[in-house]
Amino acid sequence: MALSATDVVLILASMLVSALCSGLEIAFVSSNKLYFELQRKQGSLAGRLIAGLLPRPARLIGTLLVGNNIALVVYGIAMARVLEPWFLEVLHSEPLVLVAQTAVSTLIILVFAEFLPKTLFRLDPNGTLSLFALPLRFLYVLLWLPMMLMTGVSELVLRLFGIRSRPGEVAFGRIDLNEFLKEATDNANDDEDLDAEVEYFRNTLELSSIKVREVMIPRAEIEAVSVEEPMAEVFKRFNESGLSKLLVYSGNVDNIIGYVHGKEMFRRPRSVRSVLRPVNHIPGTMPADQVLQLFSKQRGHVAVVVDEFGGTAGMVTMEDLV
């Protein structure tokens, strides 16, 4: 029996759609959501298309599942029309024909529309989603109505069991940031190729495993002035040290009461107290990432590290951390 051109086209088209849906599903699950959000902010078309689907990932997965199932139904019908006459001539038994055509059609669809596309699309999920951003958005719009129907029925069933779905907002976690930085680092030829922002984030991620005593300026290297110091002497200390900040103590260096910034010298202040800025006092065992959070929260840039006796062990600035 001659093959029907219509059946062949239906089989190939349904396999292609099924492979695309399966591959895009695993690519979306494996992708770095932070990457597409950054691409969107940089004006990338693919970034805008994919980032627009991020707030409700369940809907996108539902769309791909609907598309995949429709394709599988069409594939099954067309494949049965092609295989059944051939197997009837050989096997002469409808139960055996059913088993044979199920085995053959399942093997073909599993290899070419499940295993292969999922394996290939997982190799570079971000690149794959960027490449198929337009077809993915088209599928989402085309299958929006059946997807919403399926989602509504699913939520109704969940409510019958006392379970409520909560879509929520997209949250970019530490894993997303780690993956993004790993990709950026791997793609850079050397450290000079890394963007300042990438270097900043990479350093920030490493801070959680570092204690502040490991990055502080030790007591012996601290530049500090007395709160009673004449301004001429303070100005001289800034020039000699080349620093932008000097700690200020009252009595001795174990009693740090603040710091002065070099830019205040242009205002020609009359005393150190008039330009004194507060400092935080932190233990040396404090994780460096918590110090960075403290700086961000209080908008400070200098902290004094104290030892177990309350004396000054060193100092740390925002620049030391990032």
Q: What is the pLDDT along the chain (322 residues), one digit of tens a residue?
A: 556 888 899 999 999 999 999 999 999 988 888 788 878 888 889 989 998 888 888 889 999 999 999 999 999 999 999 998 888 888 888 888 889 999 999 999 999 999 999 999 999 998 999 999 999 999 999 999 999 998 888 888 888 888 776 654 444 455 555 555 556 555 555 555 455 555 555 565 566 678 888 888 898 888 899 999 998 898 888 888 888 889 999 989 999 999 998 888 888 888 999 989 989 899 988 888 788 778 877 777 889 999 888 889 999 988 777 6
pLDDT at position 200 is 55
What is the per-residue pLDDT for 130? 92
Per-residue H/E/C for the chain = CCCCHHHHHHHHHHHHHHHHHHHHHHHHHHCCHHHHHHHHHCCCHHHHHHHCCCCCHHHHHHHHHHHHHHHHHHHHHHHHHHHHHHHHHHHCCHHHHHHHHHHHHHHHHHHHHHHHHHHHHHHCHHHHHHHCHHHHHHHHHHCHHHHHHHHHHHHHHHHHCCCCCCCCCCCCCHHHHHHHHHHHHHHCCCHHHCCHHHHHHHHHHHHHHCEHHHCCEEHHHCCEEECCCCHHHHHHHHHHHCCCEEEEEECEEEEEEEEEEHHHHHHCCCCCHHHCECCEEEECCCEHHHHHHHHHHHCCCEEEEECCCCCEEEEEEHHHHC
pLDDT value of position 195: 55
Q: What residue spans define the domains of the chain? A: 5-160, 208-321
pLDDT of residue 169: 47
The architecture that CATH gives domain 208-321 is Roll (3.10)
pLDDT of 189 reads: 52
